[in-house]
Amino acid sequence: MARSRNGSGPPRLDTENVLVTEAGPPSVGIVVVSHSGLVADATVALIRQLANLESEGPRLVAAGGLEDGSVGTDAVRIADAIRAADAGAGVVVMADLGSAVLSAFTAVEELLDAEAATRVAISGGPLVEGTFVAAVQASAGDTLEGVRGAADEAAAMDKLGDRR
């Protein structure tokens, strides 16, 4: 949880799915886009635990499923998530499938103002591994391009090593 604006006081959440941090310079935020709200929410929860982001770290926001809980992607929901994740250093968007990427581009190109759109990078990296390395890089203070680059490179991670 984040501390209040002056650095003291009880932790607080701005919205249900946004971890807000206010210590130090702003971090690159991350939006997780999935066709399933459950998958997006679970990915955010997993990454917060794996990257130890419970109390400090970048804003991670889930943007999954449709308003009624059904499967799909919603450009308006994605645009809202981008706005919530942007602390001023930009936002990397991670997506599960190709049509989620298309919805993310629609959100950026048609629903965000031009200035905000310049601070968004959409990654082609894998959803879970890419979000994990993006969160680690963002929490280390990397730039928008550095965070997106790390997320993209996660696609080439060799998880099997010599055990093929």
Catalytic member of 35, 59, 83, 148: 35
The C-alpha atoms of residue 108 and residue 94 are separated, in whole angstroms, by 13
The C-alpha atoms of residue 4 and residue 151 are separated, in whole angstroms, by 30
Q: Which residues pair with 30 in a beta bridge?
A: 60, 92
CB 134 within 8 A of CB 151: yes
AA identity, residue 137? Q
Judged on CB neighbours under 10 Å (0-12, 13-18, 19+), 131 is: buried
Annotated catalytic, 35?
A: yes
Token code pair at residue 163:
């055990």
Instruction: List active site positions.
Output: 35
